[in-house]
Structure 1
Amino acid sequence: HLTLLLGPMAESSPFLAKKRCAVVTGGNKGIGLEICRQLASQGVLVILTARDEKRGIEGVETLKKSGINPDDLVFHQLDVTDSDSIASLADFIKAKFGKLDILVNNAGIGGVILNRDALAAASGTPGAQVNSGEVTKQTYELAEECIRTNYYGPKRTIEVLLPMLQLSDSPRIVNVSSSMGKLKNI
């Protein structure tokens, strides 16, 4: 009985009851934006999230301008390091969609401060050796922030959204990483 799973919303909107719903954390740029584009182009309703509301809305607008159906995109602010922010997202999903089918944990930080000028200078010289100590700077505080964002952020997000994922016929959790997420960079 779909009504029991999705609540009163299912009676008023059979479309939403059948449409797959995805959350993409850090969806406003780069890999996250492309994941949003690909999911929405497949007819999945995508909740694009970002820490910064302005950048998140810009991400949604970028996707709409590229031809993505506006009905397949929604923005919601999310800071994966903030429990209240995660709870707000969960309340939003529960109220609007009743369930969640896909969670893509993409939000993350690099864990180092990059000296772009030093990198550009080294990159412009053929055969130049790049000394990572000159190009990057690491701090204890930044390492803590990296772990708080890249490990505990997805962990808390999964814990809070799992009950809604369990309402899906085919739930998926995807954890995205990049070379910047390697422990050697912390």
Structure 2
Amino acid sequence: MTLLNKFTQKPNDPARAFSETPEPDMRWIDLLTGERNCPCCNTPLRDLLSLACSAPEEWYGVNTSQDNDAFHTATGDILTHDFCRIQDRHFVRTVMLLPFHDIESCLILGIWLHLDKLSFDQFYETYPSGEQRAMDMQFGWIPNIIPGYAGPHACCIQPRDGFKRPIIHAALEEDALYGLQLDGMSFEMLITMLEEYGHTGLSDQTG
């Protein structure tokens, strides 16, 4: 078998064809498969790719959530695993996915979404069935701080079946999160965000 040298083949030689897709940043591979830990908390770096907010930013009580069943009988402010009420404001727990450049993976943000009462009631009443994917599109606002991305953030909510938390998407093109979800984040952007969430020293360790 003759091996073709790509440096000596003619430009119109079909055998010279090659993928123009750039090589992925190898730091992603190291992050996803390596054994490095965060220098400030000793958490494996790959475990930092899923971050969660325990409550909406304005929640003033303890961050220990109750079972969802408690929401139905509570009369005042309450925080459960998937629902929250603060005075006359209602929230559901959701997931925002921020894809990475060059690699099929993403940063998962577990954040809350403020819904109007009508939308919240519809979501809450259909939740026990585990069948919510067919619900009408709903819109709300993120009540959590996302470091480096000043709010407010209007989002549309994508309910899912099987008791999975709904996925949210930034709704306005002028929102920086909209472009981030569309174009993805670079390795440097991820490290910056993780450091702003309190995982200091990552940029020195990862280069």
TM-score (norm 2): 0.22
Q: Which has the higher strand share?
A: 2
Q: Which has the higher helix share?
A: 1
Higher relative contact order (CA 8 A, sep 6+): 1
TM-score (norm 1): 0.24
